Amino acid sequence: MPHPGSPSEALSLGLYDAYLPALTAGSHRVLVQQSIVYEETGGAQKAHHYYRDEAFVVRGPRFFLDENDIHARYPAVGAMGDFGRHVANIVLRKRALPWERELTLAGAPRAPWMALLLLTEAEFQAQGGDAAVQTIAPDALFVPGRRTSDGKVLFPRLAAEPSPDAGQQRVSVLDLERGLASALCPSPADLPLLAHVRQVAMDDKPRAAMHGAGEFPVVCARRVPAPGANLALLVSLEGWEELIEGRLPAGPERLRLVVLARWRFIHDPGFAHSFPGLAGRLDIDLLRTKTPPGTPPAVAVPHAAGYTQMSYRRDAGDALPSWYRGPFAPAPVALLPVDCFDHADAALILSPEDGALTTSYAAAWQLGRLMALASPSFLAATRAFITDNAGPREVAFRLDTFMRLHLGAIRREWAAPGAAVSTPADEAKAAPPDSFHAVLKMVVWLRGLLRLEGVPFPYLVGGEALLPVASLRFFHVDSNWLLALANGALSLSGTATGAAARDGLPLRRLIARLVERCEAGPMAELDPKGDALDRPRTGFLLRSTLVSDWPGLETVVDTAAEQGARLLRLERLAPDVLLGVAEGQLVRLTLKEPPEGLAFRLAKHPDVPEPDARGLFSPLARLQAESALGGARRPPAAPVDPLSAAAFAAGALSSGSIQSFVWEIAR
């Protein structure tokens, strides 16, 4: 099934030297002076001078980085591979982050305030290893004289900044040997070249919160990995201008560096670690458990249908064997004749032939109820909206009626949140009630539930056997399971079916209508078709280091109905598990190496200086040499300034890889 990747589409990205914020973090002052000169009645000139001096602080990261601010590391944490000429780097999520603080370097362009230092394991152990990385209070960095009491450790030159959460913060520091620090620290000329911004398209990535979608700052090391373990340290250079400029005061043997991030990887020339390589080794199948030949059909058949066998401990005290399958099945699932269950037991399926118990829908029902009970806002809205005994269908019916009644207000709300109340009431048939927003939240929550948001993974995939390491699994979505889930969520108020019974619409349609209106947003219809739960949905689950090592992994699906169909849901469920759900039958899945995380490799050229014996190199020297070579080797997107950070990045980027997988549907 694996389909050898052919780079049909070029990976496109933009490269920028920096993203400089208008105001850097730290203390600032605003000085305003105004002078007014006027003539008095006697003809004498008189002047008034007004002066105002206001201090303020721009807050920004200083001593630690939030894990959410780190997008990717290269090589990935713990990665093992041939990284001999690769430049280690870290991809961040806030586009201005490396330039948010200002270093006072003489005559140098605006440089990043952080640097990625690469240490060999031996060097790191010589410093004391992991134990040497201490966690201290930030205040401990502000020491008079900038030295420890014995004078052996030098501190950065820092001024205290007012911070509301000072005292709770902790900062990681490493006392690095003076000589090593001086060797590893970039020079004022190299430092600006070691950080740049990559701009990429975000359409095919799992959603992630970031400043400036698609703009990723990257900070590179100026050393190539040594064989064996390497330690990457992202350190703050704030207050270390002396170190950068090579004018450290005599005396101290060690420098106390603030460590913002660190990770290890292993450079092993005998081991290949590449995107196409990993993709090529994926185990691709439908979401089902393979059984060895000769397995009895009573076991083999359910396994082939995606079920997992589980022991079922009943309230009565007995334990029965049972079968469970989540919402994902290897084959399309027929709609159940019943769509409304008053309690979980009603959704238990007992096979008349062999007495086998299937708990799938009962567990879904119970999970829906528990998730509803765990959501304070859903609970509150339910209690406010339904005060009497009302079963799932009745609640869905009332929600449907509610949406029909207040459609005008709901559309306005979704067009401009918060506007529903203030708009003239004449458009709406009825003024929205007090609980309007609460009930609307209820509907939106329900829609999220039907997209399986917040559903624990074990409920989705019944066991590890279904999704082994390095596997890609395709599946069909079982709408019965979704319906049972919604059933449970709507079951909080009781079992009665009043007006809903007279109305005659089945629960499946009622819920589908709610969802369809949500999907349509401001264009919501009064009476949508209500077939959302009847349409086929398919998807894939990918468990691979492709997901963890290339966090911005790009995914494109093609469905039978429509080429280039968008995924309904694309989400990293775990560092190495990616879930994708699409409407219609999925026929091809394309995985693309994320451009922001492309490997960064030093090209070899006889006239360009190679890294020295310790692996250290000067980007500037390399650029100057390349520039001197002229157009002999033009990068794909040549920057205007041949000696810029973007030029350095452009010269070192690899081309990336695109891998496609085709779901061969058994016909």
Partner 1 sequence: MSPVETAAAAATAILVPIQLEALVIEGAAAPEGDLLLARHTAERGASLRWKANRVNYVSGLRTLVDPKLTPFLGAVPAAGDRLALRDSERPTTTDRGVYLRWIVPAGLRKSLAQNSLSFPALPDQWVILRLLRRATSRAEVELKAWVIDGSAYPGDAGSASLPVATPRKGGAAGPEVTAQPVGVARTLDEYDPARQAQMAHTTLTALGTAWTGSPTFSTSLAENRNVLSWHDGLEDLRDAQDKLPLASVSYAVVGWYLTPGADPLAALPLTLKSEAGAPADLDAVLKHLGWAAPLGAQGRLGPCLFHGALAHINFWDAERYRGPLLGYPQSPPAHGGLMPPEARMEVGLGTSAQAALAALVSDQFWDDEVEAKDRPKWAVLEGHLLGAADPAGLDAATRRKLDHPLGFTSLEAGQRHVLVQEKEAAEKAPGPTPAQREELARLNERQSALNGVVRGLIARGNALRIAWRERVVAVRTGTLRPDATPDPLAGLKAELDAFVEDVGRASATSLVLLTAFIQFGANLPPGWRLEAEPEPSFWVAADPVVMLAGVPGASRPALPEPLPCRTLAGVVARAPVAPERAAFPEAALAALAERLHAKGLPQAGALAALLREAALMEQAVASAAFAETAPFVGQIEWTRWKDALQARFRSGTPGQSLVLAGGDGREVLPETLVSVWGQQPWSPLYIDWSVNWHTSPGGLDDWRFATGQHPLHYDYRQPVGVPATGRANPTGVKGRSLMAPMDGRFMADALTAAIAESRLNNGDFAALTRTPLVGQELSGLGASVRRLNAQALMPRPDAALPWLSTATDQLLAQGTDALARLAAGLRIAMPAPLPPLPSAPEVPALEAGWFRLEHLWVIDDFGQWAEPIARPETRVQPHPRSRLRLGPAVDDTQCGPFARPPRLTEGARLDIAFSGGADPIRGWIYLNRLDQALVVCAGDGKLLGELALEGAVGGGAAVWRSLAEAGPVGLAAIGDPVLAHFATWLADPLEGADRLVRMLAAIDEALPTIRAREAAPEQMLIGRPLAVVAVEARFQSFRGEPPPGAAALRLPLRLGNRRDEQDGLVGHGEGRRFSVFAALDTPTAPPAGFATASQFVLVMDPLASVEIASGVLPARAASLPIDTVRAALTRLEIGFSAGPVLFHGALPLLPPPASTGGRWEWHGSDGASVPIAALGIEPRFEGAPPSVGEGRLILRRTEPAAKASPLVAEG
Q: How far is the CB of 322 from partner 1 (least distance, A)?
A: 6
Residue 32: strand pairing partners:
52
Residue 357 token pair: 């118990």
To which H or E segment does residue 138 belong? none
Q: Which of 199, 289, 375, 487 lies at the binding interface for partner 1 (CB under 8 A)?
A: 375
Stretch that binds partner 1, among 268-276, 281-289, 387-395, 654-662 (CB under 8 A): 387-395
Q: What's the helix, strand, coil split of the chain in %, to 5?
A: 30, 25, 45
- Tell me if 379 contacts partner 1 by CB under 8 A: yes
- Tell me if 388 contacts partner 1 by CB under 8 A: yes
By beta-carbon proximity to partner 1, the closer residue of 234 and 396 is 396
Q: Which DSSP string do the residues of 462-492 spell out, in sequence order?
A: S-GGGS-SSEEEEEEE-HHHHHHHHHHHTTT
By beta-carbon proximity to partner 1, the closer residue of 319 and 416 is 319
- Tell me if 374 contacts partner 1 by CB under 8 A: yes
Q: How far is the CB of 310 from partner 1 (least distance, A)?
A: 5
How far from 276 is each of 311, 327, 331, 546, 613, CA to CA, in Å? 40, 31, 29, 9, 31
Stretch that binds partner 1, among 121-129, 362-370, 443-451, 550-558 (CB under 8 A): 362-370
Q: Which of 491, 538, 585, 618 lies at the binding interface for partner 1 (CB under 8 A)?
A: 491
Neighbours of 314 (CB within 10 A): 10
Q: Which of 129, 417, 456, 636 lies at the binding interface for partner 1 (CB under 8 A)?
A: 456
- Tell me if 200 contacts partner 1 by CB under 8 A: no
Stretch that binds partner 1, among 41-49, 79-87, 312-320, 637-645 (CB under 8 A): 312-320
**How many chain residues interact with partner 1 (CB under 8 A)?**
52
By beta-carbon proximity to partner 1, the closer residue of 179 and 321 is 321
* Contact partners, residue 538, CB within 8 Å, separation at least 6: 474, 475, 476, 477, 559, 581, 582, 584, 585, 586, 663
Q: How far is the CB of 505 from partner 1 (least distance, A)?
A: 24
Question: Hey, is 540 helix, strand or coil?
Answer: strand
By beta-carbon proximity to partner 1, the closer residue of 11 and 372 is 372
Stretch that binds partner 1, among 34-42, 161-169, 379-387, 638-646 (CB under 8 A): 379-387
- Tell me if 257 contacts partner 1 by CB under 8 A: no
- Tell me if 366 contacts partner 1 by CB under 8 A: yes
- Tell me if 367 contacts partner 1 by CB under 8 A: yes
Query: Would you say 481 and 326 are in contact if contact means Cβ atoms under 8 Å apart?
Result: yes
Q: Which of 83, 216, 275, 312 lies at the binding interface for partner 1 (CB under 8 A)?
A: 312
- Tell me if 308 contacts partner 1 by CB under 8 A: yes
Q: Where are the beta strands (DSSP E) in 465-576?
A: 471-477, 537-543, 554-559, 567-574
Q: Which of 111, 362, 410, 646 lies at the binding interface for partner 1 (CB under 8 A)?
A: 362
Question: Hey, is 201 helix, strand or coil?
Answer: coil
By beta-carbon proximity to partner 1, the closer residue of 89 and 493 is 493
Stretch that binds partner 1, among 66-74, 184-192, 373-381, 416-424 (CB under 8 A): 373-381
Neighbours of 211 (CB within 10 A): 14
Q: Which of 222, 262, 303, 369 lies at the binding interface for partner 1 (CB under 8 A)?
A: 369
- Tell me if 363 contacts partner 1 by CB under 8 A: yes
Query: Would you say 111 and 192 are in contact if contact means Cβ atoms under 8 Å apart?
Result: yes
Q: Using CB under 8 A as the criterion, what x/- string covers residues 563-592 for binding partner 1?
A: ----------xx--x---------------
Q: Which of 96, 261, 455, 598 lies at the binding interface for partner 1 (CB under 8 A)?
A: 455
By beta-carbon proximity to partner 1, the closer residue of 183 and 346 is 346
Q: How far is the CB of 349 from partner 1 (least distance, A)?
A: 12
* Contact partners, residue 33, CB within 8 Å, separation at least 6: 49, 50, 51, 52
CA distance 662 to 543: 17
How far from 1 is each of 284, 582, 663, 664, CA to CA, in Å? 7, 20, 8, 7
Return the closest-CA partner of residue 238 out of 134, 146, 157.
157
Query: Would you say 356 and 321 are in contact if contact means Cβ atoms under 8 Å apart?
Result: yes
- Tell me if 78 contacts partner 1 by CB under 8 A: no
Question: Between β-strands 89-92 and 70-74, what pairing exists: parallel, antiparallel or unpaired?
Answer: antiparallel
Whether the upstream peptide bond of residue 75 has omega within 30° of 0, thus cis, is yes
Q: How far is the CB of 305 from partner 1 (least distance, A)?
A: 17
CA distance 403 to 143: 63
DSSP label at residue 340: -
- Tell me if 172 contacts partner 1 by CB under 8 A: no
By beta-carbon proximity to partner 1, the closer residue of 21 and 463 is 463
Query: Would you say 277 and 284 are in contact if contact means Cβ atoms under 8 Å apart?
Result: no
Query: Would you say 236 and 64 are in contact if contact means Cβ atoms under 8 Å apart?
Result: no
Q: Using CB under 8 A as the criterion, what x/- string covers residues 119-158 for binding partner 1?
A: ----------------------------------------
Q: How far is the CB of 443 from partner 1 (least distance, A)?
A: 18
CA distance 524 to 390: 26
By beta-carbon proximity to partner 1, the closer residue of 98 and 539 is 539
Q: Using CB under 8 A as the criterion, what x/- string covers residues 508-547 for binding partner 1?
A: -----------------------------------x----
* Contact partners, residue 100, CB within 8 Å, separation at least 6: 21, 24, 25, 60, 61, 94, 113
How far from 173 is each of 63, 122, 131, CA to CA, in Å? 9, 19, 11
Q: Which of 7, 109, 188, 494 lies at the binding interface for partner 1 (CB under 8 A)?
A: 494
- Tell me if 373 contacts partner 1 by CB under 8 A: yes
- Tell me if 41 contacts partner 1 by CB under 8 A: no
- Tell me if 207 contacts partner 1 by CB under 8 A: no
Q: Which DSSP string do the residues of 574-632 spell out, in sequence order?
A: ETTEEEEEEEB-EEEEEEE--GGG--BBPPP-TTSPPP-TTSB--HHHHHHHHHHHGGG
Residues 406-425 that bind partner 1 (CB under 8 A): none
Q: Which residues bind partner 1 (CB under 8 A)?
A: 308, 310-317, 322, 324, 344, 348, 359, 362-363, 366-367, 369-371, 373-376, 379-380, 383, 387-389, 454-459, 461-464, 467, 469, 491-495, 543, 573-574, 577
